[in-house]
Amino acid sequence: MQRHFASDNYAGITPEAWAALQDANRDHAPAYGNDAWTQRAADMIREVFETPCEVFFVFNGTAANSLALAHSTQSYHSVLCHEVAHVEKDECGAPEFFGNGSKLLLLPGELGKLTPSGIDDAIRRRTDIHYPKPRAVTVTQSTEVGTLYTPAELRAIGSMAKQHGLRFHMDGARFANAIAALGVAPREITWQAGVDVLCFGGTKNGIHVGEAVVFFNRELAREFDYRAKQGGQLCSKMRFVSAPWVGMLKDGVWIKYAAHANAMARLMHELVAAIPGVAILFPPQANAVFVNLPQPVIQKMWAKGWLFYNFIGEGGCRLMCSWDTTEEDVRGFAVDLAAAFAS
């Protein structure tokens, strides 16, 4: 068996998620989310966030982000996002498609992060009728370049959003890694920072399929069930999307796995940073390490069978650790990398 560093979605399903799936595969149960598993999973998410939020399960992150943003805007609105945001770079235009034309406005920012002043500037730049009116802002936590917003940074963005009447959306495909790394309560970086809606990732944390769209702004959640259905995102055998969440949320399993992935990234960083010629591109604060490698070295590593991407975020090679990455995997990669430089 070989594990790779291409993405956390190369990994399989955690034993806990798998066991819950198997448990759900007994007898019959009501369809379309009217089953006990879906109820339980939504209740557990409310317990995690310590607030009565509205929860919807969809198949993937592109749908979660696009539908949540479409639900936060009218077609003549715009959404402020970082220039390397997944919604811009990796969703094939789905946010604009589901938003019926609502436009993403791209903002720069160090370390893959938006800043309150950047948001303020973007809004004040144009306020006339000819410009797509900013109505939402989206951040990614942890970010596309493996960094983290601090709770204070998120609160500052949240208050800027409020000041300008923007809805605050969070792409949390790797929310678990952020929670594990920051060691804060989930509420502190979501609704207490002003987040209206979170796309809470399950897949990259070890579920087979499915993300939760969590509305802290419950008024905004109105009729989202219809939008999800129209978007082809209402699963008829919903219990097979929701049950794994019960397995993962029980006893903090989701945080345990995310913490492990983060620890493997820290080890990867330590080992590869020590190899002469390797440049680390971003501080590795979650489960990814971004490095600059010479083209021949990349080719040698690929030829040895190590898979990793070199086009994510702002470029460079991304080494992504997952719930099942082992210390031997990381050490094996680092040994081969050192050899690739030496040969």
Ligand X SMILES: *Cc1c(COP(=O)(O)O)cnc(C)c1O
**Binding site residues, ligand X, CB under 6 A:** 60-62, 86, 140, 144, 171, 173, 203-204
Neighbours of 252 (CB within 10 A): 14
Cβ-proximal residue to ligand X, closest one: 61
Query: Residue 26 CB, nearest distance to ligand X (Å)?
Result: 28
Query: Residue 59 CB, nearest distance to ligand X (Å)?
Result: 8
Nearer Cβ to ligand X (261/278): 261
Nearer Cβ to ligand X (178/301): 178
Nearer Cβ to ligand X (89/155): 89
Q: Which residues pair with 58 in a beta bridge?
A: 211
End-to-end CA distance of the chain: 26
Query: Whats the size of the chain, residue-wise?
Result: 343
Query: Residue 54 CB, nearest distance to ligand X (Å)?
Result: 20
Could you write out the three-class secondary structure of the chain? Answer: CCCCCCCHHHCCCCHHHHHHHHHHCCCCCCCCCCCHHHHHHHHHHHHHHCCCCEEEEECCHHHHHHHHHHHHCCCCEEEEEECCCHHHHCCCCHHHHHCCCCEEEEECCHHHCCCHHHHHHHHHHCCCCCCCEEEEEEEECCCCCCCCCCHHHHHHHHHHHHHCCCEEEEEECCHHHHHHHHCCCHHHHCHHHCCCEEEEECHHHCCCCCEEEEECCCCCCCCHHHHHHHCCCCCCCCHHHHHHHHHHHHHHHHHHHHHHHHHHHHHHHHHHHCCCCCEECCCCCCCEEEEECCHHHHHHHHHCCCCCECCCCCCCEEEECCCCCCHHHHHHHHHHHHHHHHC
Nearer Cβ to ligand X (197/278): 197
Query: Residue 8 CB, nearest distance to ligand X (Å)?
Result: 8
Query: Residue 282 CB, nearest distance to ligand X (Å)?
Result: 14
Nearer Cβ to ligand X (35/153): 153
Nearer Cβ to ligand X (242/271): 242
Nearer Cβ to ligand X (96/171): 171
Nearer Cβ to ligand X (173/243): 173
Query: Residue 46 CB, nearest distance to ligand X (Å)?
Result: 23
Query: Residue 14 CB, nearest distance to ligand X (Å)?
Result: 17
Query: Residue 181 CB, nearest distance to ligand X (Å)?
Result: 15
